[in-house]
Structure 1
């Protein structure tokens, strides 16, 4: 990659690009592949997943306590790895056809609200994104205006109709998420890395590191510890950046490390 990766805030114009990355690259995260197992077999039903993630990403962008960061490179620097993930390649081609674009991750500079030097960079290829948010201590909230107290989490049940989702697996995931929140996120405010996705064609080029480092800079600025759950494949990145493992999250048969970063001086920038 001949030019540096640029990290910027996501904009509404990025939504199609980011949902493409969810479909083609976040699927490499074993838990996501498990929750949406039928998606691997029938990408035509992916419209449900794309709608869900597009809606979620848009809401995240509007949340004042959330930072959605995008990593992009110059289109002229595009030199993707050949790779052997045929499923990801197929889904990428499917998205390109669906959007009638050669590469759904190319972002036209005139679609973004940028100026100055960045505006002179020309069109860019989005190769990753991260969702960071200020996560407040978890409390089991209930609605007391009804005869029977109902956990607010039950409001998420609208997602059950997604055709490309395994309802039983997703219910298991929601229960495990509640346990994780109670065990690890119940006593303090943290700056939380909710999602880290890197283009399957541009792995191991430091893109994920750039997105995590930018979040750590913000965590240091607002004086909060940073936390996340890592994939087993990506655990090493967090150790190199100064995180330590504080717990293991047992979710849907996967044991994922819960990582915590305390001070900027611990990170090996």
Structure 2
């Protein structure tokens, strides 16, 4: 039985595993390239899990809304099978002159991580976001930072549960939503009402897509 709940710090190791396994065929190949595997203090797969787990903890402490879907097993235990993390207007710095810290500077980066590739990916996403949404970017929206589903648990509606939950909360706050999708996620987001904005983006030769969801407007409300 699948249920959705808020994540806890204790969920972070499992979130790290799902993040690594979800993005292994795409962005992980760029961020943890084979030619840097020899630098790992343990091994690159373990370092990626630990990096993703630590980043999740830091983001949660920064107020990023994080949810997990768990599979309730027959013995009463639970197994996390997917997660979503959102940046919302209330999780951003209180004043406009305080810029959100650069994640490449505040996180401990493992030796097998290509730091230049990571910085380039963040820079490109920021540029694309500003080009599409303007200088405010997604600061007034719900921004889906990351969605990960256990590859062995696909086709169970896990990703859909997580995204719909976030969109329902965004709608209650009268907010739109924004994300940058991988090729694997684009179809799901399209089904849930996101529309591609602009041309595809290449992050380390992997195509990504900026996508915008506009909440249902009330009668007489102007649709911007």
User: Does the TM-score normalized on the shorter chain lie above 0.5?
Assistant: yes
Q: Quick one: distance in 2 between partners of 1:242 and 1:181?
A: 19
Residues 39 and 165 of structure 1 are in contact (CA less than 8 Å); yes or no, is this contact kept in structure 2? Answer: no
Q: Quick one: distance in 1 between partners of 2:98 and 2:165?
A: 36
Structure with greater Cα Rg = 1
- Seen in structure 2, the aligned counterparts of structure 1 residues 254 and 50 have a Cα distance that, compared at 3 Å, is closer
- Seen in structure 2, the aligned counterparts of structure 1 residues 221 and 39 have a Cα distance that, compared at 3 Å, is farther
* 1:176 corresponds to 2:127: no
Residues 25 and 199 of structure 1 are in contact (CA less than 8 Å); yes or no, is this contact kept in structure 2? Answer: yes
Q: Quick one: distance in 2 between partners of 1:189 and 1:40?
A: 38
Query: What is the SS of the residue equivalent to 2:211?
Result: strand
Residues 141 and 152 of structure 1 are in contact (CA less than 8 Å); yes or no, is this contact kept in structure 2? Answer: no
Residues 71 and 127 of structure 1 are in contact (CA less than 8 Å); yes or no, is this contact kept in structure 2? Answer: yes
Deviating beyond 6 angstroms after TM superposition, the runs of 4 or more aligned structure 1 residues are: 140-143
Alignment counterpart, residue 209 of structure 1, candidates 139, 160, 165: 160
Provide, for residues 89-123 of structure 1, a one-character-per-residue CA deviation record: whole Å limited to 9, x for no partner.
Answer: xxxxxxxxxxxxxxxxxxxxxxxxxxxxxxxx821
Other-structure match for 2:29: 33
- Could you tell me which runs of 5 or more consecutive residues in structure 1 were left unpaired when the two chains were aligned: 77-120, 144-150
- Could you tell me which runs of 5 or more consecutive residues in structure 2 were left unpaired when the two chains were aligned: 218-224
Mapping 1:100-179, distance limit 5 Å: 122-135=76-89, 153=102, 156-157=104-105, 162-179=110-127
Give 1:176 shift: 1.3
Give the TM-score of the pair, scaled to structure 1: 0.66
Root mean square deviation of aligned Cα:
3.1
Residues 197 and 211 of structure 2 are in contact (CA less than 8 Å); yes or no, is this contact kept in structure 1? Answer: yes
Instruction: Figure out how many residues of one structure are paired with residues of the other and give that number.
Output: 207
Give the TM-score of the pair, scaled to structure 2: 0.78
Q: Quick one: distance in 2 between partners of 1:211 and 1:49?
A: 23
Q: Quick one: distance in 1 between partners of 2:68 and 2:127?
A: 30
Q: Single out whichever of 214-223 and 187-196 deviates more from structure 2.
A: 187-196
- Seen in structure 2, the aligned counterparts of structure 1 residues 174 and 67 have a Cα distance that, compared at 3 Å, is closer
